[in-house]
Amino acid sequence: MTKNESVINWIESVKRIVKPDNVVWIDGSESQLESLRGEACKRNEIIKLNPEKCPGCYLRRSALNDVARAEDRTFICTKTKEEAGPTNNWWEPKFAYDKVLGIAKNSYIGKTMYIIPYSMGMPESKFSKIGIELTDSIYTVLNMAIMTRVGKNILEKLGDSNDWVRGLHCSCELDEEKRYVCHFPEDKTIISVNSGYGGNVLLGKKCFALRIASFLARKEKWLAEHMLILGVEKPNGEVKYVCAAFPSACGKTNLAMLIPPQIYKSKGYKVWCVGDDIAWLRIGKDGRLWAINPENGFFGVAPGTSNKSNPNAMATVAKNTIFTNVVHNLEDNTVWWEGMDNNPPENAVDWKGNPWNGKISSERGAHPNSRFTAPAKNCPYLSKEFDNPEGVPISAIIFGGRRASTIPLVYEARDWNHGVFVGSTISSESTAASTGKLGVLRHNPMAMMPFCGYNMGEYFSHWIEMGKLLGKNAPKIFSVNWFGTDNQGNFLWPGYGDNLRVLEWIINRCEGKIGAKKTPIGFLPYEKDINTSGMNISSDVLNMLLNVDIEKWKKEAGKIKEFYKIFENKLPPELKNQLLILEENLIK
């Protein structure tokens, strides 16, 4: 399929190690994908679902030990440990190559090597970057064909260039003890062994579009971020775009696909989804910050997704979708998950493959990190700019986490550097998207902690630097927290569609239309400026949501100080200074 020597040589060198029986190039054609789906069904790797009720949809059950990103087995293999920084696992490159290629050795014997040429971003966009993933798993091929732009045309675009990201995925025995996801940013290479889970094996996603891309972005002066992108269309037809970074499973997909509350809908507001997980941001010719979503699909968390919480996602997964680790409803060969509706199937199979009766079983049927992989094109409110090679201009950047207390519903940073400080101090209660304990409060700067491909202290400096380059065109930066609770643990804010009320405040601030309260932590809304009409919320609750509790913030500042210590001399002075300002503001 190509004469590109760098491609041919690399593939040949990998073939000598993994020893496939066959090699198949993925050309991106529907006929090839359809025959692969048939083959995977025959091998019981996926199950074809009811063609009337869920056309083109398939179910996959993963190995029981392979259901989330393996953060503690994910490595950044730069020459020195310092380059990977204190928040990444690090291996010296030669050691890492020996280790993972040793595991990969002979692992394709009796198998086919699928070669997937893909582009992150529109192939014709100058924002885009090309990768080639080798895999022994048809499930991986089918997912990559949804999540990225795959096919022959990508190789044509690459021509004889050596500028592409190498990716090798070997399923091996799915042995947890030998599961590794290694990144070699200097070689633009990713090697993943012993997993079949999306985040570990769809190498275009977290591995390339975040870890490798963030490393490249620093050199090339742009940003690769764990952010959704959405456009708010106002009644006059004008669309304002914002990016938002939240840790995994904090509702990025729901926010990206938000349906306006009735009162906004009737005025003519619409929300357009550009992306739900990753944004690549560059400074455009006009000096503003422009974003593309490098992906072509959604790899969303299924549980909790319903016609009530996210009707757009439900419409998006209605066809041509791969479901992983959800419940199989044997009555009509469809799927189900907790939170979809109050009608769990009785005659079903749970994510582990065991018979399951949703009416009487005490165990959950779908894994908490069960997923859908769905084409972006299915989303009824996909932005018309989704395919625009230039991307969309960004008015605001939003940072958020899952916090029961302390962090108000929304506030605005005083300026770019303060915004970088706000982003660097995000913390969140951990969720099921990665292995490890649930509900533990963890710092997760810019929601990038598991995804930054180099020293995070330097990543902060890069953010500060980008602010200098953007100057007066820098977007405003905000913090949001949808997850504040009362003393009984009840959520104070309804979230979902009502989050548009907060987005409206943010956009009004960007347009300089309204004032705000100056507080020790930044600018907070005046109560009157959050539109609560049509909402059942008392002034007391709104007060709680917009409260700055000085004592709690003093503790927060203490935790930030502690957290910052890990960056040692790499912490930019601008952030040290921001912490001092916060501490001073709190004792004033």
Residue 231: contacted member of Mn ion, ligand OXD, none (CB under 5 to 8 Å, by partner type):
none
User: What is the token pair recorded at 2?
Assistant: 């190509």
For ligand OXD, what does the binding mask look like between residues 404 and 433, x meaning CB under 6 A?
-----------------------------x
Number of H helices, E strands in the chain: 17, 31
What is the CB neighbour count within 10 angstroms for residue 574?
17
User: For residues 112 and 214, which CB has a smaller minimum distance to Mn ion in the complex?
Assistant: 214
CB of 121 to Mn ion, least distance (A): 17
Q: Nearer Cβ to ligand OXD, position 248 or 578?
A: 248
Instruction: For the CB of residue 502, give the shortest distance to ligand OXD in the complex, in Å.
Output: 22
In terms of Cβ atoms closer than 10 Å to its own Cβ (0-12, 13-18, 19+), residue 75 is buried
Q: Choose among ligand OXD, Mn ion, none what residue 199 binds, the Cβ cut-off being 5 to 8 Å by kind.
A: ligand OXD
**Residue 195 tokens, joined:** 């997993």
CB 285 to ligand OXD: min, Å: 31
The Cα 531–Cα 535 span in angstroms is 9
Q: How far apart are CA 286 and CA 309, in angstroms?
A: 38
**CB under 5 to 8 A by kind: which of ligand OXD, Mn ion, none does 218 bind?**
none
Residue type, position 79, single letter: K
Q: Give the span between the Cα atoms of 363 and 114, in whole angstroms.
A: 37
Minimum CB distance to ligand OXD, residue 199 (Å):
5
Backbone angles phi, psi at 23, to 5 degrees: -130, 130
Give which of Mn ion, ligand OXD, none residue 282 binds (C-beta under 5 to 8 Å, depending on kind): none
- Whose Cβ is closer to ligand OXD: residue 277's or residue 504's? 277
Backbone φ and ψ for 14, nearest 5 degrees, come out as -70, -40
199 contributes a contact to ligand OXD by CB under 6 A = yes
Instruction: State yes or no: is 250 an active-site residue.
Output: yes
Minimal distance in Å, beta carbon 341 to ligand OXD?
A: 24
Query: Which residue out of 250, 273, 379, 452 is catalytically annotated?
Result: 250
Q: What are phi and psi of 332, to 5 degrees?
A: -130, 20
Scanning 61-69, 156-164, 247-255, 476-484 for contacts with Mn ion by CB under 5 A, the matching segment is 247-255
For the chain, the farthest-separated pair of C-alpha atoms sits apart, in whole angstroms, at: 71
Structure tokens at 74: 């994910």
Among 136, 225, 277, 458, binds ligand OXD (CB under 6 A): 277
Element (H, E) at 18: helix 5-18
| Structure tokens given for 349 | 């199979």
Token representation of residue 95 = 């050691």
Q: Which two tokens stand for residue 428?
A: 């969140």
Nearest approach, Cβ of residue 220 and Mn ion (Å): 22
Selected from 61, 69, 166, 509, the binder of ligand OXD by CB under 6 A is 69
Query: Could you tell me which of 523, 524, 527 has the C-alpha nearest to residue 537?
Result: 527
Of 371 and 509, which has the nearer Cβ to ligand OXD? 371
Cα–Cα distances (Å) from 373 to 57, 166, 359, 451, 583, in that order, read 10, 23, 27, 20, 44
Close Cβ partners of 360 (under 8 Å, ≥ 6 residues apart): 346
Q: Which does 69 bind (CB under 5 to 8 A by kind): ligand OXD, Mn ion, none?
A: ligand OXD
Place of tokens 């309260």: 517
Return the range that interacts with Mn ion (CB under 5 A); candidates 118-126, 245-253, 318-326, 436-444.
Answer: 245-253
CB 57 within 8 A of CB 341: no
403 binds ligand OXD (CB under 6 A): no
Structure letter (DSSP) for residue 491: B
CB of 278 to Mn ion, least distance (A): 7
The reply to whether 248 sits near ligand OXD by the rule CB under 6 A is: yes
CB of residue 315 to ligand OXD, shortest distance in Å? 20
Q: How far is the CB of 478 from Mn ion (least distance, A)?
A: 20
Which CB, 295 or 498, lies closer to ligand OXD?
295
# binding residues, ligand OXD (CB under 6 A): 6
Q: Which residue has the CB atom at the shortest distance from ligand OXD? A: 248
Residue 61: closest CA among 448, 345, 387, 323: 323
Q: Build a one-symbol-per-residue string for 269-298: x at contacts with Mn ion by CB under 5 A, - elsewhere.
A: --------x---------------------
Residue number with CB closer to ligand OXD (299 or 323): 299
Residues 359-398 vs ligand OXD: string with x where CB under 6 A? ----------------------------------------
Beta-strand ranges (E) seen in 251-375 are 270-275, 279-283, 289-292, 297-301, 322-324, 327-329, 334-336, 348-349, 355-356, 371-375
Site string for ligand OXD, 293-322 (x = CB under 6 A): ------x-----------------------
Rounded Cα–Cα distance for residues 144 and 532 (Å): 42
> What, of ligand OXD, Mn ion, none, does residue 60 touch, CB below 5 to 8 Å by kind?
none
Among ligand OXD, Mn ion, none, residue 299 binds (CB under 5-8 Å by kind): ligand OXD
Parallel, antiparallel or unpaired: strands 289-292 and 279-283: antiparallel
Q: Which residues bind ligand OXD (CB under 6 A)?
A: 69, 199, 248, 277, 299, 433
Q: Which sequence positions are flagged as catalytic?
A: 250
Q: Which residues bind Mn ion (CB under 5 A)?
A: 248, 277
